[in-house]
Chains A and B, each alone.
Chain A
Amino acid sequence: MFFHSFIYTLKTLIRDKGQAFWCVLFPIVLATMFNFAFGNLDSNEAFSAIDVAVVIEEGKETEALQSALDSVSAEGENQLLNISYVGREAAEKMLAENKVVGILTAGDQLTLKVSAAMKNSKLEQSILKVFTEQYNLYAESMMDVMKTNPAGVMDLINQMNAEANYVKHKNFTEGNISAALTYFYNLIAMACLYGSFLGNSLAHYGAANLSAIGARRLVSPVNKFVYDIGSVCAAIVMEVVSITLSIFYIRYILGIDFGNQFGYVLLTVFVGCVLGVTLGYFIGNIGTASSQVKFGILISSTMICSVLSGLMFNGMRITVDQFCPVINKINPAALISDSFYSLVIYPDHSRYFYNVIICAIEAMVFIIGSFLLTRRKKYASL
């Protein structure tokens, strides 16, 4: 039954012109528009050291931090930060006046504050973020090393700075990432979530109260779950193929680089599509509202997710991070675009896999939820 459902679902989806529009054409059209809009956004942007205010809280041991900061702010080709050591108030003022990208506060931990209002500094903000995270990660071992082997501390600092420098290097020396690129990541994330329209339509054709076909299918001796898994898989294949097409278009026609880890890019697309399709399938199975209503819900909620993850304004993600960080941790659009992002930004894949795994968990929840909702269902009204 799995294959019967898979083959025929694929056939119907491929031949459905409305679906083809949302799946293939829409991302391509939007990407082309983005390309016109942002085409020249980053081309003459060159990297200059990031202006940052450092506030050192009273009575804190800052020797290790000092060496770290010294090494990244040393003048020269590799200068990453341009530091002003100031008091709290002065720092806040500088941030408010956009004189600095962020404030680093040395307390028990190194903390970062950035301004959401600052546009076009998302990348700088990210670099600061990476620096802060890395410092906090290494701080403890640095203390230990300092006590036993002060000379070794420089190695650690170099190691630590490698990450932040890597971000900078990738972005500016190789021109690999740009503000515009994150828009394209978000665009692909949105396209993945548009897979939810397919999922919704699967639910539509599987419910007796929504479609006559659903009624006819439910009177047949078919295990609904096995059947639906087959059609969900077909929808995922359809989505993956169309999004991969969009990516090829963005990569080769628009000439926008997606990095060279194509395998991981594909994995992200796959997971994103699984998440999109299962999301739509789940929503489609909830309640008795018509599938048009659910389509409306999906189109607006995927839009909201995409906006929150930065489809419209680049700084959105960071704003969300400040006010309600949990949103970025579960927002499917944010997870998918962040996966692309972290592939380019981070040398290792831990953050990437974190995103991918959360996506997979959410998809599982949607599938199991749908299963429970439709299991042995009799309708109260048809």
Chain B
Amino acid sequence: MGTPVVKIENLVKRYKELVALDHFNLTIEEGEVFGLLGPNGSGKTTTINCLLSLLAFDKGTVEVFGKEIRPDSYDIKKRIGVVMQNVAVYDELTVYENIDYFCGLYVKDKATRKKYVQDAIDFVELNDFVKFYPKKLSGGLLRRLNIACGIAHKPDLIILDEPTVAVDPQSRNKILEGIQELNRQGATIIYTSHYMEEVEQICTRIAIMDKGKNLAIGTKDELKQMIKKSETISIEILDLADEDLKAIGKLNHVYEATYENHTLKVLCSGGKHNLPHVLEYLQSKNIPFDRVYSELPTLNDVFLEITGKELRD
């Protein structure tokens, strides 16, 4: 492995008494789509701002592309593209002008810039809106403009801080696919979100953070293997005897079985073929059942088990 794209060590950031980042560590390798997952106020934006050398921090080191980043590290900044949590575009400039303006902060050559701007417009599919002013764009389109402004200069490292907040599902999917496309074109991605579905969908590696700490890190499968629960089976049953419930609870890999509201809920840890085993038992006892669901654990389960609370409040 080469030098990591981002290396954060023991980062501490205080806002007066509040400790926003508490000895935070993070290493991101080239080519990753790295997800920073945490609830509101967990310190995602703070991490990003320290990483960009916007925010002064109390302790720790931040290296990007193998070098410590400072406000005047222009050679590093040149290679980074940022899409901030808040939309940052000029109301007085059209879609095209906004992208050209921000791209122009990175790319001096006019011809190259023209091409890059067009690429960015194609990328976020704003071709029909180039002459529009931001005020006239819907929320989703505005987010797409915001993204285009951040990535038009074809950076090697792209940082997106909750780019899909307040975006309808259709636009959101477009954005997520776009991010994966950028990754295929060679960019390393850092993606922060408190939507676990998004992070699960696109990220190759994920850090779960809460209260300024990095609680767990790994691929989504690795994270899920860290916890006990591996499968939740729900089966609608009109009537279930207590002894049957107990017997199901004793099946292999089952660590908890409950029966409420005509629904049998079986929590399994590890193992395969858990669902067939449960169904086999029911059939052998001639217990009729209706609909059957099986859910694999989510990152929310992971978060729940690590912190004792739900990811979303």
Is B15 within 8 A of A221, CB to CB? no
The residue in chain B whose Cβ has the minimal distance to the Cβ of A19 is B92
* Residues in B whose Cβ lies below 8 Å from that of A216: 82, 84, 88, 102, 149-150
Kindly specify which of A4-12, A232-240, A345-353 makes contact with the partner chain. Answer: A4-12
Kindly specify which of A109-117, A190-198, A206-214 makes contact with the partner chain. Answer: A206-214
Given A4-B105, A213-B90, A376-B72, residue A221 in contact with residue B77 (CB < 8 A):
yes
Given A215-B88, A379-B55, residue A220 in contact with residue B49 (CB < 8 A):
no
Is B102 within 8 A of A376, CB to CB? no
Tell me the minimal C-beta distance from A169 to chain B in angstroms. 50
Interface string of A346-382 (1 = CB under 8 A from B): 0000000000000000000000000000001111111
Chain B residues 195 to 250 lying within 8 A of chain A, measured CB to CB, are: none
- Complex-state Cα separation, A261 to B56, whole angstroms: 53
Is B54 within 8 A of A378, CB to CB? yes
Is A212 within 8 A of B55, CB to CB? no
Is A382 within 8 A of B55, CB to CB? yes
**Cross-chain contact of A378 among B71, B80, B93 (Cβ < 8 A):** B71
Chain B residues 79 to 126 lying within 8 A of chain A, measured CB to CB, are: 80, 82, 84, 86-90, 92-93, 97, 101-102, 104-106, 108
Is B78 within 8 A of A212, CB to CB? no
Q: Indicate if A58 sits at the interface (CB-CB under 8 A).
A: no
Q: Indicate if A37 sits at the interface (CB-CB under 8 A).
A: no
* Residues in B whose Cβ lies below 8 Å from that of A223: 72, 74
* Residues in A whose Cβ lies below 8 Å from that of B15: 381
**Cross-chain contact of A12 among B80, B86, B90 (Cβ < 8 A):** B90
How extensive is the interface on chain A, given as a class? 20 to 34
* Residues in B whose Cβ lies below 8 Å from that of A221: 74-75, 77-78, 105-106
The winner among A212, A221, A222 for most chain B CB atoms within 10 A is A221
Chain A residues 4 to 26 lying within 8 A of chain B, measured CB to CB, are: 4, 8, 11-13, 15-16
* Residues in A whose Cβ lies below 8 Å from that of B80: 219
Interface string of B51-63 (1 = CB under 8 A from A): 0111110000000
* Residues in A whose Cβ lies below 8 Å from that of B77: 219-221
- Complex-state Cα separation, A48 to B171, whole angstroms: 80
* Residues in B whose Cβ lies below 8 Å from that of A382: 49, 54-55
Which 4 residue pairs are nearest across A and B when measured between Cβ atoms?
A: A212-B88, A221-B74, A15-B92, A220-B105
**Which A residues form the contact surface with B (CB < 8 A)?**
1, 4, 8, 11-13, 15-16, 208, 211-213, 215-223, 376-382
Contact sample, A vs B, 30 pairs, CB 8 Å cutoff: A1-B108, A4-B101, A11-B92, A11-B93, A12-B92, A13-B92, A212-B86, A212-B87, A213-B88, A213-B90, A215-B88, A216-B150, A217-B105, A219-B52, A219-B54, A220-B77, A220-B105, A221-B74, A221-B75, A221-B105, A222-B74, A222-B105, A223-B72, A223-B74, A376-B70, A376-B71, A377-B71, A378-B71, A379-B56, A380-B55
**Which B residues form the contact surface with A (CB < 8 A)?**
15, 49, 52-56, 70-72, 74-75, 77-78, 80, 82, 84, 86-90, 92-93, 97, 101-102, 104-106, 108, 149-150
Not counting A15-B93, A215-B54, a sample of 5 additional A-B residue pairs whose C-beta atoms are within 8 angstroms of each other reads A212-B88, A216-B84, A216-B150, A376-B72, A381-B15
